[in-house]
Structure 1
Amino acid sequence: MKYLVYILKRLLSLIPVLFGISLIVFFLIRLIPGDPATTLLGSHATPDTVKELRSQLGLNRPLWNQYLTFLGHLVQGNLGYSYVYTSSVTSLIGAGLPTTLWLLVSATVFTVLIAVPLAVLAAARRNGIVDNIIRAIPVVGLGLPSFWLGIMLILIFGLKLGWFPVAGFGNTFSGHLQGIVLPGITIALALSPILIRSLRASLIDVLSSDYIVTARAKGISGSRVVFGHALRNAAVSSITVLGVNIAYLTGTTLVVEQVFSLPGIGQQMINSILGRDFPTVQGITMVFAIMVVVVNLLTDVTHAALDPRVQLT
Structure 2
Amino acid sequence: MLAFIVKRLIQSMLILLGVTFITFALLYLLPADPVRQIAGRSATPETVANIRAQLGLDQPFVVQYLRYLGNLVQGDLGRSYLQKTEVSALIASRLPASLLLMLGAIVCELVLGITMGVIAALRRGTSTDNALMMVSFVGVSAPQFVVGLLMLYVFAVQLQWFPIGGYGTISHMVLPSVTLGILGAGWYSRMMRSSMIDVLRQDFIRTARAKGLGRMRVLLRHALPNAILPIIAMIGIDVGIFMSGIVVVESVFGWPGIGQLAWQAIQRVDIPIIMGVTLVSACAIVIGNLVADIASLFADPRIKVR
Provide the TM-score with structure 2 as the length reference. 0.96
Please list the CA deviations of residues 203-225 of structure 1 after superposition, one character each: whole Å capped at 9, or x if unmatched: 00111111111111222111111
Q: Is the 8 A contact 2:236 2:290 kept in 1?
A: no
Q: Is the 8 A contact 2:156 2:164 kept in 1?
A: yes
1:133 partner letter: A
1:282 partner letter: M
- 5+ long unaligned stretches in structure 2: none
The match for 1:251 is 244
1:280 aligns with 2:273: yes
Question: Post-superposition shift, 1:51?
Answer: 1.1
Please list the CA deviations of residues 4-58 of structure 1 after superposition, one character each: whole Å capped at 9, or x if unmatched: 4433332222221111111111110122222111112223322121111111111
Match of 2:5 among 1, 4, 7: 7
The match for 2:163 is 165
2:33 partner letter: D
Please list the CA deviations of residues 78-118 of structure 1 after superposition, one character each: whole Å capped at 9, or x if unmatched: 00011022100000110111111111111000011111111
Please list the CA deviations of residues 276-313 of structure 1 after superposition, one character each: whole Å capped at 9, or x if unmatched: 11111111111010000011011111111111111223
Q: Is the 8 A contact 1:195 1:242 kept in 2?
A: no
- 5+ long unaligned stretches in structure 1: none
Cα distance in 2 for partners of 1:203, 1:159 equals 39
1:180 aligns with 2:173: yes
The match for 1:108 is 106
Q: How do 1:286-297 and structure 2 match up within 5 A?
A: 286-297=279-290
2:52 partner letter: R
Question: Post-superposition shift, 1:199?
Answer: 0.6
2:76 partner letter: N
Question: Post-superposition shift, 1:248?
Answer: 2.8
1:144 partner letter: A
Provide the TM-score with structure 1 as the length reference. 0.94
Question: Post-superposition shift, 1:131?
Answer: 1.0
Match of 1:27 among 25, 34, 59: 25
Cα distance in 2 for partners of 1:137, 1:160 equals 23
Please list the CA deviations of residues 245-281 of structure 1 after superposition, one character each: whole Å capped at 9, or x if unmatched: 3333321111111111111111111111111111111
Q: How do 1:52-71 and structure 2 match up within 5 A?
A: 52-71=50-69
> Relative to structure 2, which stretch is displaced further, 288-297 or 241-250?
241-250
Q: Is the 8 A contact 2:265 2:273 kept in 1?
A: yes
1:222 aligns with 2:215: yes
Q: Is the 8 A contact 2:144 2:180 kept in 1?
A: yes
1:10 partner letter: R
1:142 partner letter: V
> Relative to structure 2, which stretch is displaced further, 270-279 or 7-16?
7-16
CA RMSD of aligned residues (A): 1.3
Cα distance in 2 for partners of 1:242, 1:279 equals 29
Q: Is the 8 A contact 1:84 1:272 kept in 2?
A: no
The match for 1:126 is 124
Cα distance in 2 for partners of 1:168, 1:7 equals 39
Q: How do 1:181-220 and structure 2 match up within 5 A?
A: 181-220=174-213
Cα distance in 2 for partners of 1:248, 1:150 equals 16
1:244 partner letter: I
Cα distance in 2 for partners of 1:95, 1:7 equals 30
Cα distance in 2 for partners of 1:183, 1:308 equals 36
